[in-house]
Chains A and B, each alone.
Chain A
Amino acid sequence: MSRHRMVRNLTQDDYYDDYDDEYYDDDYYEDDDLQQQYAPPSLSKPIIAAAAPASVFAAPVAAAPAPRAQIPWPKAKPAVNTAPAIAKGSLTKPPPGWGTPSNSAPVGVAQPPPGFAPPSNTASVGVAKPPDGWGKPAALQSQKATTLPATAAGVMKPPPDWGKPSSGQEASKNQDSKTKATATKSKSSNKQQGSVYVPKPVPDILKTAKSQLSMVVLGHVDAGKSTMMGQVLVQAGYISKREAGKKPMSWILDENEQERERGVTMEIGTKTVRVPKHDIVLLDAPGHADFVPIMITGAANADVAILVVAANTGEFEAGFDGGGQTKEHILLARGLGVTQILVAINKLDMEDWSKQRYDEIQAKVKSYLLQQQFAPKRIRFLPLSGLTGENVKSRNDSKLSAWYKGPTLLDAMNDFLPAKRQLEKPFRFGITDVYAEGKGVVARGRVMQGFVEAGERLVVLPIGDVVTVNKLEHLQPPTTDDNDKNAFKRLSIGMAGDTVELVLSGIELVRLSVGSILSNPNARPPLTKKAKAKVFILDSVTIPIIRGARVMFHMQSLDIPATVSKLIALTKGGGEVIKERPRALSRNSSAIVEITLNDKIAMEQFSSCRALGRFVLRRSGDTIAVGVIDELL
């Protein structure tokens, strides 16, 4: 314990308090004490409105781990795994005026249609239609929620003590700055209340269901990420050896012409694979420095990560020290909420399976991961070669077997801990891909929290259009209990953590865009341009951040130009103020700032929705800060 304690004190103080660790169902682990160790004493317990009943999450993995090597690998189901065939000629219609972009007006940004409740970032938050059996889930409902008056319209008015209704809010905006302060206060308390969402009852089928585990593959360019994932798909039987053929293994992931031509991944490759304990969605990120914004969209949608480092002489050094992306990926993953990391020390075939080299790399990477506040128990290492396939599913080379007795890559993937899902929270879905094909407009994305069923009506934010989910398709059908007669119902439900494709009606393709958020019309996230946030300024920052600094704000799949409009305070990691209104923020510091975006987007306080409460700031192609939203302004 003492060792990493020390490292930790040397660097980032407590920027990462223990909120990330709550991501897991702590009772489940034996290493409970670990959480204690990492919890800054001052930090109170989670602000989450309702905790999931333990039974939901304890079930699927409670059994002791099966002996290695004998894990019954599921039979491959290639048909299931490949993306649905696309009707030829279903090219999407260009946006109107697309051929003549004569003015500078952004395409596809529009006002919400009249007649819908305005996406006010205050009153409508978390106000939901009472579910049919809403008297029942007493454990979840606060006093206030149960006293909500029912109204015919379905959109319920907040009770008086939820703060002023939206018209009142509007009015208060126009008041002078003195009264503004109090208005802001009532707003924020409003939001606190807003997170007490009266949920639809969670269907029984989800109580024992397991969600998909999203796994992002990270690492410096050419570390061998795509090759390794190609190998995983082949060895797990999703792609026949013959199909893989003589082509580079990485082409299974790098499907674009340009990617193949250059041998470099340029966008996230999404595939699915099943291991006994998890239905995994693989996100193969690009490693090239210029594509970090794309890597961010992958990491933002991941529960866990595999970090690939090349072990061969010189390549590890280039990727890890000076300017390489290994460290940048690590801290982005951490900043975006990934807490379990499996480090694959790759290309060890080129080092003649040297244990010494393996140990050297492991030591370096480990100390950095600890500095970045990954918990020791959430860090694992393994040696392998993605190219030869050694130690992906089995070991054949005696040089490796001589000193390595641990799990293979597939075993290690199986040993990831399941992520805790927030099913009771209002439904949030981040769109990561949009396209049209025979069956209609399709939005692919991930359920951040809550759940969604086919047939539901949803609102697209920030544009405000209301759509209907005609059909819901999983990337890979979730594993269900064969003895459960109702298991089929799971197929048409997307629960928190699932990556699904929604076939939508009521909207044209051009109105949908990557980065849009779908939610229940009665429980929408606020739309805002301005927020108060806690940020941690990274070590690599050379030019300090001053008030007015222009940055790119990355959240989920969005990148929006923004300004650091106020430097509110320089703080210690735990939040204690060192200096108010500092002139500049330099590297390795924690601060509270106000950020103003160029456009309104859906975002939330970190405590209400983690996925919409975390962000990354970049400037001129460099990552400069990671942060969480404290308060919407």
Chain B
Amino acid sequence: MKLVKRNISSKDGGGSITLRPDTPEDLWHAFNLLQKGDCVRCTTVRKVVKESSTGSTTSNKKRLMLTIEVKKVDFDPDVLEVRISGKVQSENDFVRLGAHHTLTLELNQNFSLEKECWDQIYLDVIEEACNPERQAEVAGVVLHSGLAHVCLVTGALTITKARIEVNIPKKRTGSSQNAKSIKKFFEAVYQAILRHIDFARVKVVLMGSPGFVKDDFFKYLQEEMVRRDDRPFIENKSKFVLCKASNGHKHALDEVFSDPAIMARMNDTKVAREVEALNKFMRMMEVDPDRAYYGFAHVSKAQEQLAVDTLLLTDQLFRSSNVKARKEYVTLVEEARAAGAKVFIFSSMHLSGQQLQQVSGVAAILRYPLPEIAEIGEEEEEEVADDASSDEEYDPLWRVKEDVADMGL
């Protein structure tokens, strides 16, 4: 992400920032900056309807610069798109003030964002996004007999590039169907990796499976790449690392990242750090449950007593459209930092972040045991969890409705 212009008042933190996203990952960061009530200004395409003197109408698409007040933001992980919708705030020859509009943030296109207050969390996001030392991309392939996922893991995103599922008939005397389908399955995974992984950017391809599936597959890959002379594989053979995963479901990727040997090779990527912090929390839960708490009520109680050593939160909490709730989390982070705690903000596009979200999105490892906290009720957390799950449910109708509104109907 490129920071084009920054104009923030040191007095109240209000002002605007102009940014230019240049990778899909930047779009994710942009998504985390946007909040209901902000104003976004950028170029967009709008269908303009003209009525001629005879009463017939013509419509054509026009590129315009528009400012809209954000009403709803949506990130589509499949196509990596940020959609923003809201009311138009800038008068224009073609669009009336207050009309509804939906726009998509585009790569390599400036957009400026105005907020009433840029708090520290936002500034951190901008800093992370604009850090020129780009996080290396890692490919992760998990497989078990008949099921595979090919994923790309970047600093903040885990993107499923392909899911391969092939029915493998069981062994039967005199039948070669089993062997044939295994070949077919391997071939599909081979093609998926070839197609979806850009070795120019990917530093390492982690391949995990139970048993010998990965070894058999790697053998297949090595044989086939030579036979077919697939240069990308031949030239990057050393990037493949075999490791353990208990199955081929996507969430087994987390196991791959918890492997210490792998972590060493990944030297300090964001995912690896997140996985480590979460595992540490889980272990503490076992060893000394009075030093591991989750849920806002418990964690903030611990923070009140300045007992928090490590604070884990998901970025989803900061996207909360409830300004008050967001503010509470921001305060929690600021206070914890001030008291010397380590703070990790997990990307909810990583599996570790999703796991943390399931545990209410906030957890803490304490410096010393606080058994009395456990007695506090957990009513609040229940709500957080419910919110989160409904957030995940994607409502396709919403888009349709917005589009209809968009066309001025």
B399 on the interface (CB 8 Å rule)?
A: no
CA distance A543 to B254 in the complex (A): 15
Within the complex, the shortest CB–CB distance from A303 to chain B, in Å, comes to 20
Q: Encode contact with B along A524-566: 1 for CB under 8 Å, 0 otherwise.
A: 0000000000000000001110111110100000010101010
Assess whether B170 is interfacial by the CB under 8 Å rule: yes
Q: Which positions 161-206 of chain B face chain A at CB distance < 8 Å?
A: 161-167, 169-181, 184, 188, 191-192, 195-196
B184:A94 contact, CB within 8 angstroms? yes
A residues near B, CB below 8 A?
A: 82-83, 85-86, 90-92, 94-95, 98-108, 255-259, 262, 266-270, 288, 290-291, 293, 432-435, 437, 444, 509-510, 512-514, 542-544, 546-550, 552, 559, 561, 563, 565, 581, 583-584, 586, 618, 620-621
Asked if B188 and A98 make an inter-chain contact with CB atoms under 8 angstroms apart, the answer reads yes
A-B contact pairs, 11 of them (CB 8 A): A90-B177, A92-B167, A94-B184, A99-B191, A293-B144, A435-B167, A514-B167, A542-B286, A543-B282, A544-B289, A547-B358
> Given that A262-B212, A432-B170, A434-B167 are known contacts, is A548 also in contact with B289, CB under 8 Å in the complex?
no
Across the interface, do A550 and B191 meet the contact criterion of CB distance under 8 Å?
no
B89 at the interface (CB under 8 A from A): no
User: Is B65 among interface residues, defined by CB-CB distance under 8 A?
Assistant: no
Interfacial chain B residues near A99, Cβ < 8 Å? 188, 191
Residues of A within 8 A of B180 (CB): 91
Q: Is B160 an interface residue (CB 8 A)?
A: yes
Q: Which residues of A contact B179 (CB under 8 A)?
A: 256-257
Q: How far is the CA of A216 from the CA of B251 in the complex (A)?
A: 30
Please pick, from A267, A432, A552, A584, the residue contacting B171 in the complex, using a CB distance under 8 A.
A267
Does A293 contact B173, Cβ atoms closer than 8 Å?
Answer: no
Q: A258-B212, A543-B285, A621-B255 are in contact. Are A270 and B170 (CB under 8 A)?
A: yes
In the assembled complex, B246 has its CB within 8 A of some CB on chain A: yes
Is A548 touching B359 in the complex (CB atoms < 8 A)? yes
B78 at the interface (CB under 8 A from A): yes
When C-beta atoms are compared, the residue in chain B nearest to A548 turns out to be B358
* Chain B neighbourhood of A544, CB < 8 A: 282, 285-286, 289
Asked if A620 and B169 make an inter-chain contact with CB atoms under 8 angstroms apart, the answer reads no
Query: Please, which residues of chain B bring their CB within 8 A of the CB of A444?
Result: 170
Give B285's nearest chain A residue, CB to CB. Answer: A544
Contact of A108 among B165, B191, B196, B211 (CB under 8 A): B165
Q: Tell whether, in the assembled complex, residue A82 and residue B283 are in contact, meaning their CB atoms are under 8 Å apart.
A: no
Report yes or no: B247 in contact with A293, Cβ–Cβ below 8 A.
yes
Q: How close is B312's CB to chain A, nearest CB, in angstroms?
A: 13
Residues of B within 8 A of A550 (CB): 251, 355, 358
Does chain A have a CB within 8 A of B378?
Answer: yes
Chain A residues near B191 (CB-CB < 8 A):
99-101
Write the nearest CB–CB distance from A229 to chain B, whole angstroms.
14
Q: What is the 8 Å Cβ interface bit string for chain B, positions 308-351, against chain A (1 contact, 0 not)?
A: 00000000000000000000000000000000000000000000
Contact partner of A105 (CB less than 8 A), chosen from B163, B211, B250, is: B163
- Closest B residue to A510 by CB, please name it: B167
Q: Which B residues fall within an 8 A CB radius of A?
A: 78, 144-145, 160-167, 169-181, 184, 188, 191-192, 195-196, 210-212, 216, 244, 246-247, 249-251, 255, 258, 282-283, 285-286, 289, 294, 355, 357-360, 374, 378, 385
Residue of A nearest to B175 (CB): A86
Cα separation A556 to B145 with both chains bound (whole Å)? 17
Q: Nearest 3 pairs between A and B by C-beta?
A: A548-B358, A621-B246, A435-B169
Residue in chain B with minimal CB distance to A90: B177
* B173 touching A83, Cβ below 8 Å: yes
B174 touches A86 (CB 8 A): yes
Q: Which of A90, A290, A514, A549 contacts B246 (CB 8 A)?
A: A290
- Closest CB of chain B to A616's CB: distance in Å? 13
Asked if A101 and B162 make an inter-chain contact with CB atoms under 8 angstroms apart, the answer reads yes
Cβ-defined partner of B167 (8 Å) among A85, A268, A513, A584: A513
A91 to B177, Cβ gap below 8 A? yes
Question: In the bound complex, how far is the Cα of B161 from the Cα of A234, in angstroms?
Answer: 49
B residues near A267, Cβ cutoff 8 Å: 145, 170-171
The complex places the Cα of A514 from the Cα of B196 at a distance, in Å, of 28
Q: Shortest beta-carbon distance, B277 to chain A, in Å?
A: 14
Q: Is the CB of B178 within 8 A of A256?
A: yes
In the assembled complex, which residues on chain B have CB atoms less than 8 Å from the CB atom of A549? 358-359
State whether A86 and B177 are in contact (beta carbons under 8 Å apart), knowing that A101-B164, A543-B285 are contacts in the complex. Answer: yes
Query: How far apart sit A288 and B294, CA to CA, in the bound complex (Å)?
Result: 36
Q: How far is the CB of A66 from chain B (nearest CB, A)?
A: 32
With contact pairs A99-B191, A548-B358, A548-B385 given, residues A85 and B174 touching in the complex (Cβ less than 8 Å): yes
The reply to whether B169 and A434 contact each other, CB–CB distance below 8 Å, is yes
The reply to whether B175 and A83 form a contact with Cβ atoms under 8 Å apart is: yes
Interface centre among A106, A256, A550 (most CB of B within 10 A): A550
Contact B210 A101 (CB under 8 A): no
Q: Are the CB atoms of A104 and B249 closer together than 8 Å?
A: no
Chain A residues whose CB sits within 8 angstroms of the CB of B162 once the complex forms: 101-104
Is B251 within 8 A of A561, CB to CB? yes
Set of chain A residues within 8 Å of B283, measured between Cβ atoms: 543
* A100: chain B residues within 8 A (beta carbon): 191, 195
Residues of B contacting A262 with CB < 8 Å? Answer: 212
Assembled-state Cα–Cα distance A546/B282 (Å): 9
Q: Is the CB of A563 within 8 A of B211?
A: no
A559 contact from B247, B258, B357, B358, Cβ within 8 A: B247
Interface centre among A82, A432, A547 (most CB of B within 10 A): A547
Q: Which residues of A contact B358 (CB under 8 A)?
A: 547-550, 563, 565
Min Cβ gap A184→B in Å is 16
**CB pair B286 A586 closer than 8 Å:** yes
Cβ-closest chain B residue relative to A256? B171
**With A550-B355, A583-B374 as contacts: A268 and B170 at CB distance below 8 Å:** yes
Besides A82-B174, A108-B167, A259-B171, 15 other CB < 8 A contacts?
Answer: A101-B164, A102-B162, A103-B78, A105-B163, A107-B163, A266-B212, A267-B145, A268-B170, A433-B170, A510-B167, A544-B289, A552-B249, A584-B285, A620-B258, A621-B255
A108→B146 CA distance, assembly (Å): 13
* Distance, CA A291 to CA B251, complexed state (A): 18
**How many whole Å from B291's CB to the nearest CB in chain A?**
12
Please give the distance in Å from A478's CB to the nearest CB on chain B: 20
Write the nearest CB–CB distance from A78 to chain B, whole angstroms.
11
A556 to chain B, nearest CB (A): 15
Distance in angstroms between the alpha carbons of A626 and B209 in the assembled complex = 24
Question: Residue B169 contacts which of A268, A293, A433 (CB distance < 8 angstroms)?
Answer: A433
Q: Find B195's partner among A102, A293, A583 (CB 8 Å cutoff).
A: A102
Contact B289 A435 (CB under 8 A): no
User: Which residues of chain B are within 8 angstroms of A91 by Cβ–Cβ distance?
Assistant: 177, 180
CB-based contact A101/B177 at 8 Å: no
Contact B359 A547 (CB under 8 A): yes
Complex CA–CA separation, A510 to B169 (angstroms): 12
- Give, as a whole number of angstroms, the nearest-CB distance from A324 to chain B: 17
Instruction: Give the CA-CA distance A73 to B244 in the complex, in Å.
Output: 47
Please give, as numbers and ranges, the residues of chain B lying within 8 Å of A92 by CB-CB distance.
167, 169, 177, 181
B163 touches A106 (CB 8 A): yes
- Residues of A near B385 (CB, < 8 A) are 547-548, 565
Please give, as numbers and ranges, the residues of chain B lying within 8 Å of A257 by CB-CB distance: 179
**Distance in Å from the Cβ of B134 to the closest Cβ of chain A?**
25
Taking the closest CB of chain B, its distance from the CB of A102, in whole angstroms, is: 7
User: Nearest Cβ in chain A — how far from B301, in angstroms?
Assistant: 14
Question: A255 and B173: CB pair below 8 A?
Answer: yes
Q: B184's closest neighbor in chain A, by CB?
A: A94
Verify A291–B211 contact, CB threshold 8 A.
yes
Among the listed B177, B247, B285, which residue makes an inter-chain contact with A435, where contact means beta carbons less than 8 Å apart? Answer: B177
Q: Which residue of A lies closest to B357 (CB)?
A: A548
Q: Are B210 and A621 in contact (CB under 8 A)?
A: yes
Q: What is the CA–CA distance of A103 and B172 in the complex, to the nearest angstrom? A: 33
CB-based contact B167/A98 at 8 Å: no
- Shortest A381–chain B CB gap in Å is 31
In the bound complex, residues from chain A placing their C-beta under 8 Å from that of B378 are 581
Closest CB-CB distance, A214 to chain B, in whole Å? 15
Do A620 and B195 touch (CB < 8 A)?
no
Contact B192 A101 (CB under 8 A): yes
Could you tell me the distance in whole angstroms from the C-beta of B319 to the nearest C-beta in chain A?
19
